[in-house]
A and B are shown apart, each in its own frame.
Chain A
Amino acid sequence: AQKVTQAQTEISVVEKEDVTLDCVYETRDTTYYLFWYKQPPSGELVFLIRRNSFDEQNEISGRYSWNFQKSTSSFNFTITASQVVDSAVYFCALSESHYGGSQGNLIFGKGTKLSVKP
């Protein structure tokens, strides 16, 4: 069965600190997709990144970076030089490939609430 675990329920940092959000997943499929979403206090879910299981390259986008390691089934998210606007709940999610490549359901972790204080 698929499962996503975000062990950190809440993290509090001071502005400009680096912070890493952990994500561990379980799946039996060899083809799957991993995602990160941000949910700010306003409540919407904002797509940040998608990674497929065949691409273990680390990704960097501005202050955001992602580390995907199949050996440990982890897909961690790091924010460098955090800012107050980064305060939000961050969700890691997993989707398996179905029907020869079509999409499946998104399985979400419970989320990590990040608070960045000035």
Chain B
Amino acid sequence: DAGVIQSPRHEVTEMGQEVTLRCKPISGHDYLFWYRQTMMRGLELLIYFNNNVPIDDSGMPEDRFSAKMPNASFSTLKIQPSEPRDSAVYFCASSLWWEEGKDYGYTFGSGTRLTVV
């Protein structure tokens, strides 16, 4: 199992440019989450999907952010236009709806460190 795969690992872009972050969840997992980590706000949920359908996007900061999950094996988080305050580490996580007695957890990718200059 390759785990949750995120790309790119690092992204440096200029203010105003479009940024696309990518995530491949663990095969068979039916939940996918996008989190953002900053020093000031810690780890905060942006959006999550269940069976490719967005369930809660209340954490998406503003219209500049959008997320899609066209199929069970791929999701994108897009920022357009990017701003310096978007600089953060963005994590993708996937999970399977667990059953009692099974010790599932949310598995996180390695994150994408985004720097907007």
**Interface set of A (CB-CB < 8 Å, partner B):** 35, 37, 43-45, 47, 49-50, 52, 91, 95, 101-103, 105-106, 108-111
Provide the main secondary structure of the chain B interface. Answer: strand
B87: interface (CB < 8 Å):
no
Residues of B within 8 A of A105 (CB): 33, 45, 48, 56
Q: Chain B 86-102 against A: per-residue CB contact (8 Å), 1 yes, 0 no?
A: 00010101010110100
Q: Are B105 and A43 in contact (CB under 8 A)?
A: no
- Given A43-B113, A106-B106, A108-B44, 15 other A-B residues pairs in contact with their CB atoms under 8 A: A35-B106, A37-B108, A43-B110, A44-B108, A44-B111, A45-B91, A45-B108, A49-B105, A50-B105, A103-B31, A105-B33, A105-B48, A106-B35, A109-B42, A110-B42
Contact A106 B100 (CB under 8 A): no
Chain B residues within 8 Å of chain A by Cβ, number: 27
Across the interface, do A108 and B43 meet the contact criterion of CB distance under 8 Å? Answer: yes
